[in-house]
Amino acid sequence: MLIEAPRHAEIFGSIKIYDVQKVLKLDSEKVETPLLRSFSKDEIEDILSRLIVVVPIKNEKIYLLDGVLRAIPRNCPIIVVSNSQRGKRDVFKMEKDVVAHFYNLTKHPVSIIHQKDPGLGLAFKEVGYTHILDENGFVRDGKAEGMIAGMLLAKHMGKDYIGFVDADNYVPCAVNEYIKNFAAGLCMSDSPYAMVRLHWRHKPKIIRSKLYFKKWGRVSEVTNKYLNLLLAAQTGFETHIIKTGNAGEHAMTMELANIMGYSTGYSIEPYQFIYLFEEFWRGEIKFREAASAGIEIFQIETLNPHIHEEKGEKHVKDMLHDSLSTIYHSRLSDRQLKSKILEELRANDVLKQGEKPRKTVTIPPIREIDVKTFMKVLEEYSETLVSYD
Ligand SMILES: Nc1nc2c(ncn2[C@@H]2O[C@H](COP(=O)(O)OP(=O)(O)O)[C@@H](O)[C@H]2O)c(=O)[nH]1
Ligand SMILES: [Mg+2]
């Protein structure tokens, strides 16, 4: 595999953010030049054999999930965390059937669990991690909450890396590429605390009956702008380094996943940046080992375009609201930045005059969770967990 060498990086305290690196070739000979980074098949395979993939899903078209599962490289076990409808029209049952069929055909290790499984809530309660539970003791709705549940299952399996891919991807081979890109990024890191975030080459849209290869999604563009403005407000230097504020497709070392702070729903991805800046740049350092090893963030531009389900205007507005609210409510955000964010949200019809962005709930790291107890309770009380190995 061939990708551009990192040309430029910016450093904020213990955090090093690399500028976007393009994928140049998915499969290639090893080429040694200062402008390129190449990875042998073995190097990629080695990372893949230590990577687990979590797929959060909520009421997606079932054949999209099927395509995503089939595209995940063979060495990576899969955990599907579903918050799909149950009851009369049982979408979750269809997902379970797809997973079972997929396993029978391929023997690829895969687990599936429903986010609202009472045993899951109980397991989180038992280990004292109630931050993602609602008042009835169930895991709350939200993509972040599903991802955290997946992380706990992954932690139990003892893998070194964790990656996330959405279930609503129309191009299975794009998913296959994303996971290889995760591997390449993780391979480049010198630190045990590394993250890879994907940047889409294009995000095609149908415009006047034609496929138009847009460079950016609307929400990503705005989120990146304000994350960069937050950096500029702190340093006094304008920057465009952040290009993956809303990267749903991302991977981390388990060491980083353990000490990462999270935030509810769709605010999880931009909040990862905010959390790292607050903890490892402008805050009192809690995680000394990570601070001295350094945290590396790679941003990789995919070869494949990103074609996923369009969820409508309300979804876009909710994402914008959640994303910008994590920046607005950060203690690193100054008055001027806050007022620009309010203006942006008003211009996009998200807020009315006088309204403030809703505060997203932050969720502490999962490091202290006793995974053995968590799994014991889960296995005893779960009503939905199915694992094929
Ligand atoms: N487990 C879980 N997954 C969710 C939830 N909400 C959304 N998802 C999934 O998260 C992924 C990304 O969500 P999507 O709505 O496509 O957001 P976007 O692609 O960022 O616009 C998709 O696979 C969704 O099905 C949730 O509450 N729980
Ligand atoms: Mg999507």
The whole-number pLDDT of residue 319 equals 92
CA of 359 to the centre of ligand 1 (A): 20
The enclosing domain of 152 has a CATH number of 3.90.550.10
DSSP symbols for 67-136:
HHHHHS-TTS-EEEEE----SSS-HHHHHHHHHHHHHHHH---EEEEETT-HHHHHHHHHTT--TTB-TT
The whole-number pLDDT of residue 186 equals 98
Closest residue by Cα to atom 16, ligand 1, is 168
What's the mean pLDDT when you consider all of the chain?
94
Indicate which atom in ligand 1 lies nearest the CA of residue 145: 28
CA of 166 to the centre of ligand 2 (A): 6
CA of 306 to the centre of ligand 2 (A): 9
pTM of this structure: 0.96
The whole-number pLDDT of residue 20 equals 97
Residues with CB under 6 A from ligand 1: 56-58, 60, 81-83, 115, 141-143, 146, 166-168, 248, 308-309, 311
CA of 166 to the centre of ligand 1 (A): 7
Indicate which atom in ligand 1 lies nearest the CA of residue 58: 25
Domain that holds residue 68: 2-388
Name the nearest CA neighbour of 49 among 75, 17, 77, 19: 75
The whole-number pLDDT of residue 77 equals 97
Q: Given ligand 1 and candidates 53, 58, 148, 321, which is best to mutate, with the most ligand atoms within 8 Å of its CB?
A: 58
The whole-number pLDDT of residue 179 equals 98
Alpha-helical (H) ranges within the chain are: 41-48, 62-71, 91-106, 118-126, 143-157, 172-188, 218-235, 254-259, 268-280, 288-293, 313-328, 335-347, 371-381
The whole-number pLDDT of residue 206 equals 73
Please name the residues in contact with 184: beta carbons below 8 A apart, sequence gap of 6 or more: 1, 3, 23, 37, 39, 44, 196, 300
| C-alpha gyration radius of the chain | 20
Give the residues of the chain that fall short of pLDDT 50.
Answer: none
The whole-number pLDDT of residue 260 equals 97
Is residue 258 within 8 Å of 368, Cβ to Cβ? Answer: no
Q: Which ligand is nearest to the CA of 266?
A: 1
Look at the chain and report how many structural domains it folds into: 1
Q: Please provide residue 335's backbone torsions phi and psi, each rounded to the nearest 5 degrees.
A: -60, -40
Closest residue by Cα to atom 20, ligand 1, is 248
CA of 266 to the centre of ligand 1 (A): 8
